[in-house]
Structure 1
Amino acid sequence: MDTGPLQKPLSRSRPLEPSVNGKRRRGKPLADASDGSASADESTDALLPDRRLLADQDWAPVIHRVKCAVVSIRVTATRPFEDGAAGVWHGTGFVVSLDPPHQALILTNRHIISTGPIQAFATFDGHEELPVYPVYRDPVHDFGFFQFDISQLRFTPATQIPLSPQGLQMGVEVLVIGNDNCEKIQILPATIARVDRNPPEYDDSNYQDENTFYAGAGSNTSGGSSGSPVINHDGACIALNAGGANEAVSAYYLPLDRVVYVLSWLQSHRSDVPLPPRGTFLTKFLFQPFDMLRRLGFTEAQEKGVLGNALEEGAAAAGTQSSGGRSNGVGSERAPRGGNGKNGGGLKGLLVVESFLPGSEAAEKLQPGDVLLEVASDQPCFDFTCLESHLDSNVGMPIKLK
């Protein structure tokens, strides 16, 4: 099956959710502690344990180190384009590259950059506003890059946040630092609850992400926080805040596997055209647990074979894994997947064909419900990182699937 370059999907950029009277309506208000049952501080601590977590782990040095890299972005869509309407919206971004200074890069969501002609400005920590220019919009995932000239800053220190996709693990305590509800620099603590969620299905946009895991946490982010960095205690960004539930505290974070790939390519191909090669065979996959695979005809013997291969691959990966150093602030592209990790005991399911583009080669050779086992030279493929890595490195070439 030939993998061709990805085409820009005809999708509408997802506008930020509006606030209601300046606030999001979520959940019940905090109980009034004036009834004498407990002091205000005790009631607050009981209801908001993450505040104690924030103090216990002493996040202040981390916040001080990264906050100058976080920016508020104001975007004006000058005209309707594809399915996107003209308008003005706000979001968050953060600096990920300072070299060279006149081509510094800001990472944010694709639904902030949108797909059409825009004018955009970034407000930095020192209340300085600079024009920023879109240089990359990912054709599939919800991320993109703005470019700006860091030498124009007078009061804000030049700061970048390193990317660490391998740090995205279940149970990690994080801070989402951004412009929640369009308030400049809001800090929301959370704990990574899962890292193998299928992409969220938004009900207010034609744009939907696909062929990637999302992480989930209860950070209660709202409009304006899209594009915020998810920071671990080392001061590295381990995911990109992308969306949230309307009537719950659930938030959805995009892993950084493809972000690291694209950023590394942009840094090493500043003057090259076209943009980073992205491969596809026009097929959408979903992650399904083994119980669901049994309903699709996956046998017990096949399941044991897959788990055996996963154990072997996990042992090989453990023997060759580096010490976790970073180069130029960019972490390794491959990231362990917690609940869907590289050890056989952590493997809970596989990728399944959900749909494909009619008339494509995939429509002739695949069927919905097909389970992906191997890709490219009989290599086991258990997650989206593996799949996309093979597709991006084989653009225009035949690729073997099993």
Structure 2
Amino acid sequence: MGRSPSWDTLQDRLRSSILSITSHTALPFDTDDSGTSFATGFVVDAEQGIVLSNRHVMGPGPSYHQGTFFDNQEVALQPMYYDPEHDFSFFRYDPSELKGPAPKAIRLAPWKARSGLEVRLIGNDSGEKMSVFWGELSQLDRNAPDYSSPNSCAYSDFNTFYYQASTSSKGGSSGSPVVDVEGDAVALNAGGKVHSSSSYFLPLERVQYALEYILRGEIPPRGTMQAVFQHITYTQAGRLGLEQSAAAQQGACIEGPTGYLTVHKVLSEGPADGRLVAGDIVITVNGAPAHTFPDLARTVDASAGSSVSLCVFRSGEFATVNVDVQDLYAITPTALLKVGQSYFSDLSFQFAVCSSTSLAGVNVFSRGNGFISPSQLNGRSVIHAVNNQPTPNLQALMDVLRDVRRGEQMVVHAKSHTDPRDEAVFVTSCPMADLPALLYTRSVATGFWSIEPFAGLAMPEGTDRPGSLPRVAGSEVDALCKEMSEAAVSSTDVVSGVRNSIVYIVAQAICPADGHGNNQRDGGGFVVDKRRGLVLCSTAVVSNPTSNITIIFGGTVRVHATLAYVHPLYPIAFIKYDPALLCDGLGPAIAVHDMPLTGGTGANRLTIGESVTMVNAACSGIAEVHEAVVSYRYLISTASCDACYSQRFFNIDSFELSLGSAAAGIKIGAVCGKDGGVRGLWIKTPRCTHGENQTHGVPYIGVDISLVLPSLDRLRVSDTPPDAIRVLDVEFCRVEFSNAVALGVDPSHMRSVVQAAPTARSFLSVEKVLSVRPAGLASLEVGDIILRIDNKVVYWIDDIACFYDRESVDLTIVRRGKEIVLSVPTSQVAGSNTRRVVFWAGWYLQEPYQQVFQVASRVASQVFSFVWEFGAPTAIDASIFDMFVTDIGSDAIQTLDDVVRAARRLKSSDRAAFNDRVAKNERMPGGTMPGSNTKIHVVQLNGEDVIESVRTNDHYFPAWQLVRGPRIDDEWVWEEL
């Protein structure tokens, strides 16, 4: 006689059937964003290698997955099928890949589910293997949980019951089997409440229905009326006026079921629009009682492409309505267009239900650059028209974009998905130099997505050099520009001179670099050399060196520009445009003026109490004038935010202005003295890359114009960036006179400082040493007080903060109470003018920049990465970032050239063949994608060595590089490796 099954042996019996799943969502699609997650699945057919998990584990978009059995055997999982509506999906692995015993399939037994049934939830909770939770099924007729929030459309199931039980499972348990004592699955774990022990299980009736088709190699028929139903109790129906006896006469079954289905939502322009109304209570479908979701689903799925007849109770009366049933797959998106970091797809049924809108328009999600930026649209939105041409679907949008050239302006009409009143009409353009536009198409047979270049957004015809925008000449705009220029020439005062040099700048980043991600920045700037086409702006505008830059002159003319130079120490940048584009006969006849700069000596610094006039480059380059007073001067050093490693400001003697609230929000302003020239800049500083905090604690700083002029002078005579900047590589603070004597400073030095700067009451002292010099080489130490440099009294930080081409300086200092003289070598500053970025396995790799050297314990190589792409192979361990790469496989890595050689060596030879098979919809045995297993060795900023293994994905994450030449007007060039 056989022994009865017991819970004690359940885990041993099931462990071979359960997998931990690592899911990589490569691109944003539908309601999902890209990213990496961990979950559970279990084998439901061992012969074909079919694994059941959740839809939200697989995701509807381009993705790839890895499964690990309990005995640590790994298999590649093919995203075989996901239900367009319900939270389940099927993966496939190749059983021949397994070297050990074959797993046993867990039987689906939806008929066993009953209230009070004791169950176990077995999975990989929080990434831990074989976590087991006890529970007892309570509710069997709960409506599907809604995971969306008022401001987002997260995936949520509907038109199905859910089971509820109390367990303490959390993330990682998604896709776990909910089993009875005999080891049969009675439900699929799907979700739960964060702040309670309530878990939600998906019933398996429709899962089993789909599996029967999947095992035969078929797609399960699925139908929809584009309506959402909810379950209500008999008591709730009675309150709505429905009597049980009357319902029974219409065919309702009042024994067994616990209530009715009622219409919750009907999508406009869908099959049920005008036929079903919210609040309708369903009595029968095609003459049969339909009290439960399975009753309704069986009939609707069987009627895809035809119609059904529903008897409903509406406003106290019974009515019979005929509703067409649409093929659910016909409204499930299978294509994705990627332009830069903007992603476009058809609006899905899920999205339409979440936002209560019709299935019309193109869903757009922007993470950064592209022709739609996050600043223009808030999160996910729906585009309804481009260039006044309706875009009801992705194909219509692509038809419009095929006739649009890069750099051409487009008018976009869009709405927020969460608030139909949030409507926007704006002008935008696709950047000139950018990553290629790609079209992804899903293969039904494999679940993978083929990739092909999008035949649209071509470069303008007749472009004489990469990046030049289409020219507009001989038009009314041309005449208007000329009139505006003539009016500007007639003004001669300093405010007008500044006003006539103002331009408006828009910068779109191509990819992450120098501590900054994919972003768009905009703000004002000033023309400082119209002959060379040089414009001065804040690094808050061009924070990323890979930016595509557009300059707008006079609010009328748009000209492409390049990033000429970013100062490694100060928050200033120069951009360059081609002056020929503004010449009469070649382009719009608009004249620009050089900003009137005043001298470059320290003696011309602004002083406390001095009255100034600030001319602000406001929105679209329109000038605003504010009267102000220099209220304070203070020393700024390295940023307090150590999490960013983006550009910081190093030893600046800044000034503060007394400005009213009307001047709030200024990104750059020219501070004009009474002598008739610009003597300073009022600059907005860049934000942290991980939040809204400013990099040094204050949003604006005043910078003397003397800090700008040395770089400008070099740009005026050279076509290459002036990177020959040297520093003492320390940070300074001020020591008040009251403490200086106690530290050993002779009082006579106080008199010398006051004579040099009458308002001075302090010395400069070393606060932090940023790099340790080799033994025997003279260097500064923390606490050193600086008295003189080259026998000249030091008070202003400008005297010792930044040197040009000086390899050493003579300093008189006080150290430990003694006055000494040192000849201190200076250090070359690593420029913030990155000209190469390599993308491999999801990492953005570049040479280290200045702020990295300031915080790194050791510089292990000249290859640094601070960010990886979401969903990429290298994103598995989220704790590994901000690091130097030293080894990729068997290749030692010291330079970016080493990375390129390693990427080409590891590149899969069957990538093109794989893409071709996916495009032809050919069936594949498993989920192996083109790529290579390789070891990586990295060194984190704290000096810790980390060794990991990854499998690259050459299909969704091919290696490429962006390279820019050495000249200040060279363009970025994209190249696949």
Report if TM-score (shorter chain) is over 0.5.
yes
> Which is strand-richer, 1 or 2?
2
Letter in 2 for 1:122: G
Distance 1:391 1:303, change over 3 A: closer
**Which residue does the alignment assign to 2:253?**
310
2:239 to 286, 295, 298: 295
SS of the residue corresponding to residue 238 of structure 1 reads: strand
In the alignment, structure 1 residue 358 sits paired with structure 2 residue 268: yes
User: Deviation per CA, 1:57-94, whole angstroms, max 9, x where unpaired?
Assistant: 83123222212100000011122223422211010000
In the alignment, structure 1 residue 373 sits paired with structure 2 residue 283: yes
- Post-superposition offset of 1:397: 1.2
2:227 to 266, 269, 283: 283
CA contact (8 A) 2:267 2:273 kept: yes
**Which residue does the alignment assign to 1:193?**
138
SS of the residue corresponding to residue 66 of structure 1 reads: helix
User: Deviation per CA, 1:229-281, whole angstroms, max 9, x where unpaired?
Assistant: 0000111000000001111110000000110011000112x2x4xx2210111
SS of the residue corresponding to residue 400 of structure 1 reads: strand
SS of the residue corresponding to residue 63 of structure 1 reads: helix
Letter in 1 for 2:259: G
Q: In the TM superposition, what are the counterparts of 1:233-248 in structure 2 within 5 Å?
A: 233-248=181-196
Of all paired residues, the percent bearing the same amino acid is 35
SS of the residue corresponding to residue 299 of structure 2 reads: helix
d(CA) in 2 for partners of 1:300 and 1:388?
A: 23
- Post-superposition offset of 1:366: 1.0
Distance 1:393 1:79, change over 3 A: same
Deviates more, 1:78-87 or 1:282-291: 78-87
**Which residue does the alignment assign to 1:400?**
309
**Which residue does the alignment assign to 2:974?**
none
d(CA) in 2 for partners of 1:106 and 1:60?
A: 25
1:143 to 88, 113, 117: 88
Letter in 1 for 2:54: N
SS of the residue corresponding to residue 106 of structure 1 reads: strand
d(CA) in 1 for partners of 2:143 and 2:36?
A: 30
d(CA) in 2 for partners of 1:373 and 1:304?
A: 9
d(CA) in 2 for partners of 1:279 and 1:243?
A: 25
How high is the TM-score relative to the length of structure 2?
0.30
**Which residue does the alignment assign to 2:112?**
167
Letter in 2 for 1:310: C
d(CA) in 2 for partners of 1:112 and 1:150?
A: 21
CA contact (8 A) 2:233 2:258 kept: yes
SS of the residue corresponding to residue 225 of structure 1 reads: coil
- Post-superposition offset of 1:347: 2.6
d(CA) in 1 for partners of 2:31 and 2:122?
A: 30
Letter in 2 for 1:191: E
Letter in 2 for 1:252: Y
- Post-superposition offset of 1:152: 1.4
d(CA) in 1 for partners of 2:183 and 2:10?
A: 5
In the alignment, structure 1 residue 384 sits paired with structure 2 residue 328: no
In the alignment, structure 1 residue 108 sits paired with structure 2 residue 53: yes
**Which residue does the alignment assign to 1:121?**
66
Q: Which runs of 5+ in 2 are unaligned?
A: 312-977
d(CA) in 1 for partners of 2:55 and 2:162?
A: 15
Distance 1:57 1:150, change over 3 A: closer
Q: In the TM superposition, what are the counterparts of 1:320-339 in structure 2 within 5 Å?
A: none
d(CA) in 2 for partners of 1:93 and 1:357?
A: 33
How high is the TM-score relative to the length of structure 1?
0.73
**Which residue does the alignment assign to 2:25?**
77
User: Deviation per CA, 1:146-175, whole angstroms, max 9, x where unpaired?
Assistant: 000122112343211000000111010000
Distance 1:194 1:150, change over 3 A: same
**Which residue does the alignment assign to 1:90?**
38
Letter in 2 for 1:155: G
Letter in 2 for 1:128: Q
User: Deviation per CA, 1:23-82, whole angstroms, max 9, x where unpaired?
Assistant: xxxxxxxxxxxxxxxxxxxxxxxxxxxxxxxxx983123222212100000011122223
CA RMSD of aligned residues (A): 1.8
**Which residue does the alignment assign to 1:327?**
none
Letter in 2 for 1:214: Y
SS of the residue corresponding to residue 207 of structure 2 reads: helix
In the alignment, structure 1 residue 348 sits paired with structure 2 residue 292: no
Distance 1:109 1:276, change over 3 A: same
SS of the residue corresponding to residue 307 of structure 2 reads: coil
> Which is helix-richer, 1 or 2?
1
d(CA) in 1 for partners of 2:40 and 2:33?
A: 20
d(CA) in 1 for partners of 2:106 and 2:6?
A: 19
d(CA) in 1 for partners of 2:268 and 2:148?
A: 24
CA contact (8 A) 1:219 1:249 kept: yes
CA contact (8 A) 1:125 1:156 kept: no
**Which residue does the alignment assign to 2:740?**
none
d(CA) in 1 for partners of 2:242 and 2:141?
A: 20
Distance 1:221 1:89, change over 3 A: same
- Post-superposition offset of 1:305: 4.6
CA contact (8 A) 1:220 1:249 kept: yes
d(CA) in 2 for partners of 1:75 and 1:176?
A: 21
| Superposed structure 1 runs of 4+ greater than 4 Å apart | 303-306
Letter in 1 for 2:253: A
**Which residue does the alignment assign to 1:212?**
160
**Which residue does the alignment assign to 1:230?**
178
User: Deviation per CA, 1:344-367, whole angstroms, max 9, x where unpaired?
Assistant: 1x4321000001110123111111
Letter in 1 for 2:306: M
SS of the residue corresponding to residue 215 of structure 2 reads: helix
Distance 1:155 1:99, change over 3 A: closer
CA contact (8 A) 1:150 1:158 kept: no
Q: Tell which structure's C-alpha radius of gyration is larger.
A: 2
- Post-superposition offset of 1:300: 4.7
